[in-house]
Structure 1
Amino acid sequence: MENIYEVQRIKQVKTEMEIKENSIRMPENAADIARSFIGDDDREVLLVLCLNTKNKVVAVHRAHVGSLNASVVHPREVLKAAILNNAASIIIAHQHPSGDVTPSREDIQVADRMKEAGRIVGIELLDALVVADNSSFTSLKEQGDL
C-alpha cells in the first residue's frame, strides 16, 4: 500500500556570494553589505543578515519583497532564514525606493515585532537599517528606536 502522506522538508537554496568584509563591527558594515544585495530595486526589499556568535555574516537572505511604498513582513520569514543558518543574531535591512532613509512608523513597528519574536526563540535582533543606494542609511538602534 502506498503511503498517502508525503514527508515535507524545509530546504534551503544557497547561492555562493562573496562578502569582502563579513564581520559586523558597526552599522556601516551592515549597511554596506545590505546595499550590495539590494541594489536599485524599485520596491521595498527586506534582507536578513544572519550572524554567528562572532558577528560574522554567515548568510544574507532576501526575506520579503514589498510594493513601491509598503512591505508587510512576518517574523516567520525572517526567523526561518536565521534558524536554517544557525544564526546567533540577525540584522534586518530594507530600502525605501524614494531614497529617503527616514524610518516610517511601520518600520519601527516591524523592528519591534522582530525583536520580540527573536527574543522568544533566542535569536537577537541587533539592528534594523533603512539603506539607500548612495552611502546614506539609518540605524534604528543608533536612533534609539530599537
Structure 2
Amino acid sequence: MQPSKRVDIVSVKLVKEASMLYRNRRIRSPQDCYELFKEFLGEVDREYFVVMCLDVKNQPTNITIAHIGSLNLSIVHPREVLKTAILSNAASIICCHPHPSGDPTPSPEDVDVTKRLIEAGLIVGVEMLDHIVLGDDSYVSMKESGYFENE
C-alpha cells in the first residue's frame, strides 16, 4: 500500500505593482501603442517582451513584462505571454518589444513568435491585436506591415 500524498490548495491572483496614467482611454492605432509602450519602457539596453491587456472596448487594463532578454535575444513562450491575459480576463492583447540596435525591422524570430502567439491566443480566446517593434525613434506595427495576414 502506498503512503498518502499531500496536495496543496492554492489560489492564483494578479498583484498590482504600480500604475501609470494614460491620457487616451482607448487604443485606436499602433501610434497609441507606441507612445504608451515608449513611456512604460523608457530607455532600455536589452530586449523586454511586454504585453498590454485590453478589455472589450480596447482600453488597456494592465501591462506586464513577460520576459527580459539579452542585448539581441528574448525567448518568449506563449504560456508566459498569455498568463496575465487569462488571469485578468483580457479580451485581447498587444505585444511589444524594443530592438536595442535602434532598427525596428522585425527579425525572422519576431515573425515566428508572433504567429505562435496568434495561434495560442485563438485557442484560449484572447485575440492578439498587434505586435509593435520599437526602434530608437520609430516603430513597426507587425499587423500593419502584413505579418498577420495568414491568421
- TM-score of the superposed pair, with normalisation by structure 1: 0.92
Does the CA contact (< 8 Å) of 1:40 and 1:133 recur in 2? no
Confirm or deny that 1:36 pairs with 2:39: yes
- TM-score of the superposed pair, with normalisation by structure 2: 0.89
Q: Distance in 2 between matches of 1:19 and 1:108?
A: 29
Does the CA contact (< 8 Å) of 2:14 and 2:88 recur in 1? no
Does the CA contact (< 8 Å) of 1:47 and 1:93 recur in 2? yes
* Map of 2:103 onto structure 1: 100
Q: Work out the percentage of aligned pairs sharing the same amino acid.
A: 49
- Quick one: which amino acid aligns to residue 98 of structure 2? Q
Larger Rg: 2
Does the CA contact (< 8 Å) of 2:103 and 2:136 recur in 1? no
Shift of the alpha carbon at 1:75? 0.5
Does the CA contact (< 8 Å) of 1:39 and 1:133 recur in 2? no
Confirm or deny that 1:13 pairs with 2:47: no
* Map of 1:60 onto structure 2: 63
Shift of the alpha carbon at 1:133? 4.2
- Quick one: which amino acid aligns to residue 101 of structure 2? S
* Map of 1:115 onto structure 2: 118
Count of aligned pairs:
143
Q: Which runs of 4+ in 1 moved over 6 A?
A: none
Confirm or deny that 1:49 pairs with 2:52: yes
Q: Distance in 1 between matches of 2:107 and 2:25?
A: 28
Unaligned segments of structure 1, at least 5 residues:
none
